[in-house]
Structure formats: structure tokens, C-alpha cells
Amino acid sequence: MAAEIRVGTCSWADEALSKYFYPPGLKAGDRLAYYAEHFDTVELDSTYYRLPVESMASRWVEQTPDEFVMHVKAFGVMTRHPVKKDQLPPDLREEAPVDERGRIDRPPREFRAEVFRRFREALEPLRAAGKLGGTLFQFPSYVVYKDLSLDYLAWAREQMGDDEMLVEFRHASWYEDDVRSEVLSFLEEHGMSLVVVDAPKVEAKNVPRTLLALTSPTLYVRFHGRNAGTWNVRGKSAAERFDYLYSDDELREWVEPLRELSGQAENAYAVFNNNNRSEGPGGGWVSQAATNAHALRQLLKEAEVAA
């Protein structure tokens, strides 16, 4: 039996969704419940900017149906991104080593371990309710393939306990022909899921490649759009960088790969990270992510792929 492919978006609260997906006047606190009436999975991105808290996770459980699955993006300290000291909980700020710009600078592993611990503990309500999917470890482009990077990945795996790790690389060195099999074997041996990506078709070193492979029982596909013109423009917001509405033909390219990969998986997810607005076919604006998520689900249904 092929895994059912759950389709959703990366966030339920970005500006385009808030303005063009939800009914006018819907309160912010009611958006997740409305979202869950239309999609059965979501990727939570706010945890990349701030550590989650248990009370918030309890509300997410209350606002979603029993079979809903929420994936959670790892906090920036966990993926070696630049994080401002004031993004930390107040009691961690004093001991945080910072650079001249007030960003966390090469913290010791004991400090990172405490961040991992708090992150995992806060998600216990989701875990207990059976609604916790994977934690997305989206590494920045300066995390390149080398022994130290592999060592960090192995250490992070230990910190995550039994929670699932979804790993997305943003540097081409992880996808080179001479190391690709080693990378896949490493992820498989450590029980990590390779994130399969759709991104601009360019040769820039910081654009992830599309590698159709499974390293765990979970298939996880992220659609970033194909806007090569904005990917590397400095100062762009996420909405501008991932400003792209897939055509039905472009989404149709994914039907057979999704059929094949989901046939090898126990769990399968496809989530859209194109988070801007586009003009709709009938006029007016639509959310790119929600529009494409609905379209992909319909294409999979027409092709009789479980979704």
C-alpha cells in the first residue's frame, strides 16, 4: 500500500494566507482551526524565530482534528543560523556568547543542548496527542559537506531523541556526484529523512538540488517556487524570495515522482513554501501556497495517487 500523500503549506499565518485564504474578519486565533478544515498537515515556521512554549502547543492540539499532523521548523540556534540574543528566552541571554552585532556566536554544545531540550519539551502536547510530525532542520548555505558538518548532524540526532528529523541542505556540496551516496547512507544510518525540494533550476551553490530519494520511511517534499530572479537578491523578504505560482503543468511533473516515492514510504507529505500572492484566474488575489496545494491534491486525485 502506498502512503497517503498529505498536502499543505509552510505556515498557516503568512501575509498572503492571512489576506487571501481566510474569510474576511476571521480572528487570528481562529485561523488554524479554519486551515485544518481544508488541509490535514502544516509546517510551523514561527519556531525558527523563537523557541516554542508548551501552552501554545496545547492550543495547537485543541484547534486541530485528531488526524492532523504538524511539522515544526527547528529554532535557528539548532541549525546554526544567525540568531539575535533577544530571540532567546530571557534566562538564557546572559550566558549566550554574542558577536559585535549581538548575534549568538559559536555557543558551546552545552548551551545548544539546553536549547534542544527546551524545544523538545515544549512540543510534548503535540507528541502526546499523536500530532507531531517531523522537525525540519533547514541548514543555511554555509553549512557545507565536511566531517564537522556530519559530526554536528550526528550530535543533533542524539539531542532529538525519538523525534523525527527532516533535513534540508542549502548548499550544492551535499548533492555532488562523488558524495551523494555517502550523504544518503549517512542520513539513513542515523534515521534522518532527506527533504526533497523543488527550487529554481539554476546552478548557484546555495540552491538545493532536487534529489528523488528516501532515507527513512517518511517522504517530505518542500516546494519553494522557481523564481530564479529573486532567490539571491539581497534584502528580499521571504515572500519576495519565494514569489512564484506553479502552473498545473509544473505541478503535474511531480505526479509520477510522488507516486513512485510514496509507494516506498510509510508517511508522505508535500508542503508549499511559495508564500506570496498572485492574481487569480477570476481576478483578485490568491495565496500562492494554498492555491498550489489545492491544485496538487486535485492532480494527484485525478491520477489516482493516494492523497
Instruction: Report pLDDT digits (tens) over 255-276.
Output: 999 999 999 999 999 999 998 9
| E-state strands within the chain | 5-10, 41-44, 69-73, 132-138, 164-168, 192-198, 218-223, 267-272, 277-279, 285-287
C-alpha–C-alpha distance, residues 178 and 192, integer Å = 20
C-alpha–C-alpha distance, residues 225 and 282, integer Å = 22
pLDDT at 241: 84
**Fold for the domain defined by 5-302:** TIM Barrel (3.20.20)
Residue type, 83: V
* 287 beta partners: 277
Residues of the chain with pLDDT under 70: 1, 235
Q: Residue 120 CA to chain centroid, in angstroms?
A: 17
pLDDT at 1: 67
Cα angle 289, 291, 293 (rounded to 5 degrees) comes to 65
DSSP character at residue 173:
G
Q: What is the pTM of this model?
A: 0.96
Cell reading at 137: 532542520
pLDDT at 193: 98
Q: Residue 214: count other Cβ atoms within 10 Å of its Cβ.
A: 21
DSSP character at residue 78:
G
